[in-house]
A and B are shown apart, each in its own frame.
Chain A
Amino acid sequence: MLKLLLAIAVGIVGAALLHLVIVLSLPTFSDRDAYSRVLSEGEAFTFHILDQKPDAAGLAQEDPFLETAVCSFDTEERPVQLTAGSGVPFWSLAVYDPASNETFSINDRTSSGGKLDVIIATPLQATALRKAMPEGLNQSILIESAQTQGYAVLRAMAPQPSYRPLAAAFLSSAGCQPAE
């Protein structure tokens, strides 16, 4: 009887250990996290507009009023520039690293002139850019991130059905390209 109780106690301790191991290691091994899903949306350096229903990659609009697009990028060789116009009641951008930690977020009121113009660069690239800012980039917001890989999520609000074409046009005109 005592041995049975001991066996159960050992089992519970083992269960607690396994619980901790799974919780701590899941972020490293998960293949259904947001970054993997954004990568399987398709090619990098372009905004993929998400559907209402989850697509093959498993991503979908999380809010019925927010049209959403995602773009994965890699700043290993060159910084990436995210651009978009204006004309929607609300837009917002969030940039994440591969572990889905937020590195930067902005919305239309916190940007200059309501337009999206953001450059993500490694610290080395950012120093080079600051030294000699190319002509077209001096209005851009420069973000330093030591992580070279990541993804951006751009959302545009369509509070009423008549705004939907505006939001769709906003997202399809958004750029996510390596900066020249």
Chain B
Amino acid sequence: MLRVPLLIAISLAIAFGGGIWSTLVALEATIGFGAIKLGAWEAFPQAQTRNADPYAKSHRANAGKLLYGTAEGLTFTAAVDDSGARLDGNCSYRLSGHTPPARLWSLFTNDANGRPPAENAELPAALNSRTVLRSADGGFVVTISASAQPNNWLAVAPAQPFRLVLTLFDTPTAGSSGLIDLSMPKVEKIGCGNA
């Protein structure tokens, strides 16, 4: 007797529940298609343009962030290290190498809410190309850890996942399609806990 209404209810529940859930997951998980992946880093040089794909347009309408224009800069983010494991505040990481050509760059970590650290924080939570200490060949090594480190130290909150954000300002990278040849700094895990 009640079988037909029950079947219709099941269909509707799957349609609405699944449709809304999958949309929320898709908009949360990715900024869109067309990412450039360089090791652990990814960037979306088309995200702010008219040519962005529907997912990218939907994501930026929902997130409501002020994106960088092509002449301004390009943001690379990394949520994992080079081995593919999630970046975690319990572990220490070494970021080493060079950035692609850019006039300036900034490096900081976003917390779980996607917010950058305050610039007047007591710990060095953000670095830029003018304040970083470099080696003789112009490269740099940054230790990312919750506890204090010598040389370049980027402080993170302990026991929380985080996301590295490296923004290149005034960079030919933003308008170039030959991005695959560019090299980004390596992100290696150097230990977890108190080890």
- Chain A positions within 8 Å of B, measured between CB atoms, are 3-4, 6-8, 10-19, 21-24, 26-27, 30, 32-34, 36-37, 52-54, 58-66, 68, 70, 89-90, 92-96, 99-102, 104-107, 109-110, 153, 155, 157-161
A97 to chain B, nearest CB (A): 9
**Stretch of B34-42, B50-58, B139-147, B156-164 at the chain-chain interface:** B50-58
- Chain B positions within 8 Å of A, measured between CB atoms, are 3, 7-8, 10-20, 22-23, 26-27, 48-50, 52, 54-55, 57-58, 60-62, 64-73, 103-104, 106, 108, 115-120, 125-126, 128-131, 165, 167, 169-170
Task: Point out which of A6, A24, A94 has the most chain B C-beta atoms below 10 A from its C-beta.
Answer: A94
Interface of A is mostly: mixed
Closest residue to A68 on the B side, CB-wise? B66
Residues in B whose Cβ lies below 8 Å from that of A30 = 61-62, 64
Asked whether, in the complex, the Cβ of B116 is within 8 Å of the Cβ of A11, the reply is no
Please provide the 8 A-B residue pairs with the shortest distance between their CB atoms, ordered closest to farther. Answer: A11-B14, A105-B69, A18-B19, A14-B15, A94-B69, A15-B18, A64-B119, A92-B72
Asked whether, in the complex, the Cβ of B130 is within 8 Å of the Cβ of A27, the reply is no
Sample of 19 more A-B contacts, CB < 8 Å, known A14-B19, A161-B120? A7-B7, A11-B15, A12-B15, A15-B14, A17-B15, A18-B16, A26-B58, A30-B64, A32-B64, A60-B115, A64-B118, A64-B126, A70-B66, A92-B72, A94-B72, A99-B61, A101-B48, A157-B104, A159-B129
Q: Looking at the complex, which one of B17, B23, B49, B131 makes contact with A23 (CB distance below 8 Å)?
A: B23
Residues in B whose Cβ lies below 8 Å from that of A99 = 57, 61
Give Cα A17–Cα B128 distance, bound, in whole angstroms: 45
Asked whether, in the complex, the Cβ of B118 is within 8 Å of the Cβ of A100, the reply is no
Asked whether, in the complex, the Cβ of A107 is within 8 Å of the Cβ of B71, the reply is yes
Asked whether, in the complex, the Cβ of B62 is within 8 Å of the Cβ of A153, the reply is no
Check A14/B66 contact, CB under 8 A, given A24-B54, A26-B58, A26-B61: no
Give Cα A89–Cα B72 distance, bound, in whole angstroms: 13
A117 to chain B, nearest CB (A): 15
Asked whether, in the complex, the Cβ of A63 is within 8 Å of the Cβ of B167, the reply is yes
Closest residue to B60 on the A side, CB-wise? A100
Residues in A whose Cβ lies below 8 Å from that of B13 = 11
Asked whether, in the complex, the Cβ of A4 is within 8 Å of the Cβ of B64, the reply is no
Residues in A whose Cβ lies below 8 Å from that of B55 = 23
Give Cα A39–Cα B159 distance, bound, in whole angstroms: 38
Residues in B whose Cβ lies below 8 Å from that of A93 = 69, 72
| 27 A-B pairs (CB sep. < 8 Å) | A3-B3, A7-B7, A10-B11, A11-B13, A14-B14, A15-B15, A15-B22, A18-B16, A19-B22, A19-B26, A36-B64, A52-B119, A64-B106, A90-B103, A92-B73, A94-B71, A99-B61, A100-B61, A100-B67, A101-B52, A102-B69, A107-B169, A109-B103, A110-B71, A155-B72, A160-B130, A160-B131
Residues in B whose Cβ lies below 8 Å from that of A10 = 11, 15
Check A34/B104 contact, CB under 8 A, given A26-B58, A64-B117: no
